[in-house]
Chain A
Amino acid sequence: MDRAPLFLLYLNVLIVATCGLIYELLAGTLASYLLGDSVTQFSLVIGLYLSAMGVGAWLSKYITRQLAACFIEVELAVAMVGGFSAPLLFVAFGAIDWFRPLLFGMVFVIGTLVGLELPLLMRILKEHVDFDDLVSRVLTFDYIGALLASLMFPILLVPSLGLVRTSLVFGILNAAVGIWGSFLLRPLMTARRAGGLRGRGVLIIGLLTAGIVKADTLTRYSEEQQLSASIVYAETSPYQRILITKNRTGFQLFLNGHLQFNSTDEYRYHEALTHPPMSAVNTPKRILVLGGGDGLAVREVLKHPSVEQVSLVDLDPSMTTLADRFPPLADLSQQALSDPRVKVINSDAFVWAGQQTGEPFDVILIDFPDPSSFSVGKLYTSYFYRRIHRLLADDGRIGIQCTSPLVAPQSYWCILNTMEDAGFHVQPYHASVPTFGIWGFALASKFPLESEPILAEDLRQPLRFLNSRTMSTLFSMPNDLTRHDSEVNRLNNQALVQYYEQEWRLLE
């Protein structure tokens, strides 16, 4: 071989090295995205990858014939496995239980293949180049490649291409280098072998390109899962994606990627939602809970001895039966949904509320997810509140969660203004929930309220957060939580969804 192709082969080394490190960085980043705890994930991935390269290097000695062709084979294999690594892992994460074995298995395979590459190449070249020269050049290009990869990855690739596309693009590059190598090393293999390799190379490039075309769908599907804690439960119901993560202090429930509660401090939230309206009614007997399929608000409701009947309306049967499949939730909710007084109704609260004609409720608790989509936004409209108005006893009370009045004041006040538009008298109040920050609620009634409620004394269990003194402080709104003007949220404008999106986007 003459010098020109030799130089080109070094370039080949450079690209191969870059690709190798990119796959390693991808795996590390992905693992810390999906599994959380980035220090652990990164050091595990790097350690495993390096040792796998060692295994590859060691295995290389068993390859004795057709070195050039084998080298190209290896490159194509790296292109295929490495190129599809990120998309495959993303998709697998939501779909399988053995994600970790898959992740580390892939890291190991890629590491081994990459480890094979340089020893093979050096053995091919040693026939043609002075050995000292060879070692120094190959290693130099190898390290330059590593430098290139580590610079490009955070600065250029992740921000502009994202993980999935980066992975696919480098797979293509890797396969292209393989094809190119089949020309450079052509003298060292048979024509048939070279043709076969090129054919497969083109096929792999085709597959990876198809992957790029579909990449958007893939990332959208997996973005919701990029949570920073380890996942202990995952389920996709027809209505939403239910995920539970766990850390040292407790567990957290996510619906469609939105945090619903953290077991360590949810009591603050649910006590604040439940006890002000429950205490404001003399003997609350018939209670309606809308949303809140986790049963935590119902748990608080059942602490009031006068309660005779609780109707819980939640869209998703997978939510209202979650405690059966995830025992820690059963403990946390004190099996509230299995209480004989509780009737669980799985239906869309919007439609359900329109169909009710029976006896009115003494207390209605509205505990929907935040209004981040139109299908939830409709549950915060004046139209819906008018339906609820009909379901409430004349001396009844409503307690409602209304997102954060500090982070999203316009959204918070939009909810209160909308309730007023529907004929309610509304008192704002708030509580501090460490996981969420300052959280907003409202107490609503059909007639004007003079004072804030006094905590009921006959509770079956002591509360952890509220006592008779703290209750009234919830109702004194500090200066940074004062009223904002807003449009009324209606079915035909869904103003709230827009406020909400604008205000929470500022935080991202």
Chain B
Amino acid sequence: MNHAGIPEGRFSRRDWLLTSLAAATASRFTGCQQVVAGLTGDLLKPGMTLGHQLRDHSLEAGEAIDATNANLDSDGSVRNVEVAIVGAGIAGLSAAWQLKRSGLSSFRIFELEQVAGGTSRSGTCDVTEFPWGAHYVPLPDVSNTDLVTLFREMLAVQVTEGDRTLIAVEGVSCREPHERLFVNGEWLDDLYPRSIATESDLKEWSRFREIVSRWIDWRDAHGNRAFVIPVAHCSQDPDVLKLDQITAAAWLSEQGFSSQPLLWLVDYCCRDDYGLTIEQTSAWAMMFYFASRLKNSGDSEPALLTWSAGNGAIVQHLSSQFSEKIETSRPVIRIIPGDGRSDQQSVIHVWNPDSDSKETWTARHVIFAAPQFLTPHVLADQPTERIESVRRFQYGAWVVANLHLSKRPASAGAPLSWDNVIYRSDYLGYIVATHQVGSDFGPTVLTWYYPLCDPLPSEDRKRLLAATWEQWAEVILQDLRPVHPDLGECLSKLDVLFWGHAMIQPRPGFIWGSDRPLAAEPVGNVHFAGTDLSGLALMEEAFYHGVRAANEVMAARENSASAGAAK
């Protein structure tokens, strides 16, 4: 790997974060207040407590599976449902949506958290709704028919009368100005730092885009595209797959790229979409980011669908169709799969924290739509090679903060945009929740993102996990103060959310290795959904797997019905 190609300052990132945290701690002890006086907020850690309890106390604690009692509730009763869905993230909700569309309404969704949505959840305050994670989806291609159906339901897309092309509905399509970049003391529109690019930088930038264009137009012998959403429809031609063997950084240096603005931009995109640096991201995943959204290189960039609540709007739309079937604060702690051939049902143990007791459910089918890393702790009777594969799924942590502002901070240059990025910051910048409703003045909420990309020794990881609200607040303000010196005056509340296993990581070899397909195979009558099965954390992928798992269930039912009829 070519280290010359690495943006300067890269190696200091982790140290910088740890130093900031340390500084914030020190300032607390020395009593010198750095965080804005009177500023309050919460530090949230979804899934952590229950998740850890689950890991530490369920199957691994060696609780014997008592065949006679397995079907009994703490109070001795058993509830039954046709399909049990584990997890109310986009994948679980999409599965339910597809079941309902297919005419099956006897299902339940069990969700660990108090709210549905998973990493696409949103929050709300007097001023606006705002995302806590996922915040946009690019306009899908017409060929992605299920997704198009969903977005048509949501009135987010429409088909034009004349040439019947799919367009994003005004108001959902991201409003101009989309994005701006803070570079050399002022905000400029567009993410590529043109103002500091030299002639040779620009040459590399256009050469890079030519390569991307070539990949967009590339077709294999069967006419399949190299990069297309969902990942399952991508060409598996060795010419494309070999990109998955190396890192994005290695690919960039192989191609002779060394322009700092270019490397920064590509690195930014990888961190933004995958939570990985270019040294960690598979070159295939990097190219997927740039090439999967256009069918032909001549097409204009697709619109971005976005809402104040971010993808929380999708969660709300889906949940509203079957809200009575979503059981929140109901973590599934164990699944004993039925064998899938006979009529044997799966048994599901659900924890009820209100009564501090266990509920038992039986279901003819299970759709497991929570992250795979939980399956070794939850799912009984799985083949050991599946467990080994799943252990190779790696997830990255993210920190998301919502900054509640009483007014907009001043800024020099391009106006406040939907996405606001600081050149060479260790963090990703922020998006503006009120952008989509068209309010340009007064109070708003900024959502600030930070993927923890650096491999952390477990000591440091512990320190990060133990970091307090004050420490995070200081880190965030240190990032934003230089670009908004008046931020302190505008800020009324700052909430921080720490996502432990937020995103599946597309490191080299993972997407096109053997672990992913193995994990997607049903175990008995348990089917799997979840974006991690794609190797990329994207709404479209979570949706794809949710719908796919629902279709598998429907097909299995048809099979058993026809088998029954044959008998």
Contact = CB atoms under 8 A, between A and B. Distances in A.
* A is bound by B: yes
B441 A348 contact: yes
A382 interface: yes
B439 A492 contact: no
Contact of A351 (B174, B186, B303, B439): B439
A491 B439 contact: no
B415 A375 contact: yes
Nearest to A421: B170
A239 interface: yes
Given A220-B412, A382-B170, A493 B438 contact: no
Which of A350, A354, A490 has the most B CB atoms < 10 Å from its CB? A490
A350 B434 CA distance: 12
Given A217-B412, A491-B175, A492-B303, A375 B440 contact: yes
A238 B409 CA distance: 11
A121 interface: no
Interface string A474-504: 0000000000000000111110010000000
Contacts of B548: none
A404 interface: no
A374 interface: yes
A349 to B, nearest CB: 10
Nearest to B417: A374
Contacts of B438: 348, 350-351, 354, 378, 383-384, 491
A316 B409 CA distance: 18
Interface string A195-237: 0000000000000000000001100100000000000000000
B168 interface: yes
A381 interface: yes
A216 B195 CA distance: 15
A31 interface: no
B485 to A, nearest CB: 11
B173 interface: yes
B513 interface: no
A373 interface: yes
Nearest to B304: A492
A315 interface: yes
B353 interface: no
Contacts of B407: 238
B176 interface: yes
Interface residues of A, number: 25
A374 B173 contact: no
Contacts of A494: 175-177
B374 interface: no
A374 B176 contact: yes
B173 A491 contact: yes
B439 A350 contact: yes
Interface string B155-174: 00000000000001011011
Given A217-B412, A374-B415, A492 B170 contact: yes
B555 interface: no
A411 to B, nearest CB: 16
A452 B439 CA distance: 36
A384 B437 CA distance: 11
A493 B176 contact: yes
B437 A492 contact: no
Contacts of A492: 168, 170, 173-176, 303
Interface in B408-436: 412, 415
Which of A315, A354, A375, A497 has the most B CB atoms < 10 Å from its CB? A375
Contacts of A384: 438
B415 A373 contact: yes
A348 B440 contact: yes
Contacts, number: 58
B136 to A, nearest CB: 12
B412 A378 contact: no
Given A239-B441, A315-B441, A491 B415 contact: no
Nearest to B412: A217
A378 B168 CA distance: 17
A420 to B, nearest CB: 15
A241 to B, nearest CB: 13
B441 A491 contact: no
Interface string A364-387: 000000000111011001111000
Contact of B170 (A239, A351, A381): A381
B415 A238 contact: no
Contacts of A354: 437-438
A11 B176 CA distance: 57
A493 B174 CA distance: 9
A46 B20 CA distance: 56
A220 B413 CA distance: 9
Contact of B441 (A238, A373, A382): A238
Contacts of A220: 412
A374 to B, nearest CB: 5
A315 B440 CA distance: 10
A377 B177 CA distance: 11
A160 B412 CA distance: 22
A220 B415 CA distance: 14
Nearest to B171: A383
Contacts of B175: 378, 491-492, 494
Nearest to A493: B176
A217 B410 CA distance: 12
Nearest to A353: B438
B303 A348 contact: no
Nearest to B177: A374
A350 B177 CA distance: 16
B334 to A, nearest CB: 48
Contacts of B174: 492
Nearest to B174: A492
A255 to B, nearest CB: 14
A127 to B, nearest CB: 51
A278 B439 CA distance: 30
A92 B371 CA distance: 60
A351 B437 contact: yes
Contacts of B303: 492
B85 to A, nearest CB: 35
Nearest to A491: B175
Contacts of B177: 374, 494
Nearest to B439: A351
B499 to A, nearest CB: 30
A350 B442 CA distance: 13
Interface string A97-113: 00000000000000000
Nearest to A490: B170
Interface string B381-415: 00000000000000000000000000100001001
Which of B171, B173, B177, B442 has the most A CB atoms < 10 Å from its CB? B171
A348 B173 contact: no
B176 A491 contact: yes
Contacts of B442: 348
Contacts of A315: 441
A490 B175 CA distance: 8
B167 to A, nearest CB: 10
A487 to B, nearest CB: 13
Contacts of A375: 415, 440-441
Given A351-B437, A375-B440, A491 B412 contact: no
Interface of A: 216-217, 220, 238-239, 315, 348, 350-351, 354, 373-375, 377-378, 381-384, 490-494, 497
Given A220-B412, A374-B415, A492-B174, 9 more contacts: A238-B441, A348-B441, A354-B437, A354-B438, A374-B177, A374-B440, A383-B171, A383-B438, A492-B173
30 contacts: A216-B185, A216-B186, A217-B412, A220-B412, A238-B407, A238-B441, A348-B438, A348-B439, A350-B439, A351-B437, A351-B438, A354-B437, A374-B415, A375-B415, A375-B440, A375-B441, A377-B176, A382-B170, A384-B438, A490-B173, A491-B170, A491-B175, A491-B176, A492-B173, A492-B174, A492-B175, A494-B175, A494-B176, A494-B177, A497-B176
Interface of B: 168, 170-171, 173-177, 185-186, 303, 407, 412, 415, 437-442
**In the complex, the 9 A-B pairs of residues with the closest C-beta atoms, listed nearest first:** A375-B440, A494-B176, A492-B173, A491-B175, A350-B438, A383-B170, A351-B439, A490-B170, A378-B438
